[in-house]
Structure 1
């Protein structure tokens, strides 16, 4: 059964660095047992917000509650919170196993080898458990940082770009570990520049631009904000497909687009329902449809639209 208390409640969070406004009145409410994505362009305030959640910085204005407790003005990690920003802090001269033992001891946590072995297995580092960290790739360091956070048994896990440097196998281990945590009631907040990662993992997302929240809510609601997208169609007869597209309401061929990739694919701009009408019309006309896909994924398109509005001052 999931906790009904909010994992994070923020209101009017503001943070300055000299004359720079890193966060400008940010509000946020996160429910427990969910994976929440944080996205935004460089300088949007993502790392600053994560730092506040981890107790690495304090806000200049506004209120912040983490796991039901107000966060004060002292620099200290709230109880039950773990994670990292700007990459995990590790000891390069120690092995992965000894890193975890040392970090657990510093936090007063379980240093038994069985528990350390468990978290190493969760992130897929069992085979390199006794290798020195100085020889680890970026992706392996990210996974070890996640293992260190798991060792503390957090109720709120805060991760900054956890997919950096991960190969497909590493990404599979990390994604599986984060889903298991959420299923167990842990709240996960992760920042990423990769909208495909957010789409694969997150139920909801917050988009920041210039220190302000541009959107916060379910991923489906974000995708709906993009009414029209460019879609690439692979068909048995591109020329015929173009003629059919010209007769379907709500479908148009953007200037400079049209048939691309060696005259095999047709690019059209349309909403989701209009694309469905186009596919039905193509089938009725005897044109076989091999593939239909957005040129830019809907979530990425919505992200770009929201952040470009901010840059344009809208």
Structure 2
């Protein structure tokens, strides 16, 4: 049984089509990313998963239950977590636990605060929290009910590196225990680090849905930044490698990075030739991640056909 199964979901706000025939499948224990430009329908879809709205057309099942009768076991937030600024972090979680009928003595409030790295500020008022700290507290609030489906809207918004590590660790642990997460983000690096599959939305429609590996197919050409022990010689080797093209800002004998465009097989051949020439490869990384490149290509194509 899929945790989320959507078929032909459409949602209208007057004359505005927020979602247009969306299909979505999310398996148990999967971290699934929603990607799209502003106005693509990501937040609307997350709201449907949380039971905050009802689809106008189509069929939606969550944890095997047809929507809008959302079952227990779903938690999260859209448009930022709802918190009481005059209360402390601990008091916020205590109030939420009571609203949900939980025994505050056994609700695990200290545990979830520790999971998201807020133990040291548990008794500070939320009005003094940064955006990233509020996001982490929102995640802690969602964890109180031990959800089977976690729905998060921009959970990495405002996070510093330490906060990001806490959030990533929590989500990876939950997925390993069988909890499903559906999250939106504009940060492609976060999605690539977290998600096994992504759905890209544009103008309310799905333009891609599937494993990240499909976006980085071996036939796809990307720009790669290449740093070596001998930039000048590396440029000559790259220029002579079939399938590899040099960018305009190719390396000179100044230690600059060489930027090359190539599909993965040609890139592999380039590395072999560099090693054969005694040139050490110090860095080889996409200038733009495969997910971001696919996102730009797919959404630009969709916009041009509106």
TM-score, length of structure 2 as denominator length: 0.95
How far, CA to CA, are the matches of 2:138 and 2:253 in structure 1? 42
Match for residue 8 of structure 2? 12
Q: State the secondary structure of the residue aligned to 1:213.
A: strand
- Equivalent position to 2:49, from 42, 48, 53: 53
Contact 2:34–2:184 (CA<8 Å) still a contact in 1?
Answer: yes
CA 1:121–1:261: 2 relative to 1, 3 Å: farther
Deviations 1:64-100 (A, max 9, x none): 111100013xxx7542111000100000011111111
How far, CA to CA, are the matches of 1:16 and 1:113 in structure 2? 42
* Structure 1 position 134 matched with structure 2 position 127: yes
Deviations 1:255-306 (A, max 9, x none): x332279552211110111011112222223333222111111221122111
* Structure 1 position 71 matched with structure 2 position 47: no
Contact 1:226–1:302 (CA<8 Å) still a contact in 2?
Answer: no
Q: State the secondary structure of the residue aligned to 1:215.
A: strand
Q: State the secondary structure of the residue aligned to 2:142.
A: helix
Aligned-pair CA distance for 1:33: 1.2
CA 1:260–1:155: 2 relative to 1, 3 Å: farther
Match for residue 41 of structure 1? 37
Aligned-pair CA distance for 1:226: 6.6
- Equivalent position to 1:120, from 90, 113, 118: 113
- When the two structures are aligned, how many residues end up with a matched partner? 306
Contact 2:62–2:70 (CA<8 Å) still a contact in 1?
Answer: no
Contact 2:232–2:252 (CA<8 Å) still a contact in 1?
Answer: no
TM-align CA RMSD: 1.8
Q: State the secondary structure of the residue aligned to 1:259.
A: coil
CA 1:110–1:7: 2 relative to 1, 3 Å: farther
Match for residue 266 of structure 1? 258
Give unmatched runs, 5+ long, in structure 1: none
CA 1:289–1:182: 2 relative to 1, 3 Å: closer
Contact 1:14–1:62 (CA<8 Å) still a contact in 2?
Answer: yes
How far, CA to CA, are the matches of 1:154 and 1:91 in structure 2? 22
Contact 1:54–1:78 (CA<8 Å) still a contact in 2?
Answer: no
Contact 1:56–1:77 (CA<8 Å) still a contact in 2?
Answer: no
Deviations 1:79-125 (A, max 9, x none): 21110001000000111111111111112123226611111111111
- Equivalent position to 2:272, from 273, 280, 283: 280
CA 1:144–1:282: 2 relative to 1, 3 Å: same
* Structure 1 position 145 matched with structure 2 position 138: yes
Aligned-pair CA distance for 1:192: 0.6
Deviations 1:227-269 (A, max 9, x none): 1011111123322222222211101113x33227955221111
- Equivalent position to 1:243, from 213, 236, 241: 236
Aligned-pair CA distance for 1:152: 1.3
Match for residue 80 of structure 1? 73
- Equivalent position to 1:301, from 270, 293, 304: 293
Match for residue 217 of structure 1? 210
TM-score, length of structure 1 as denominator length: 0.93
Match for residue 311 of structure 1? 303
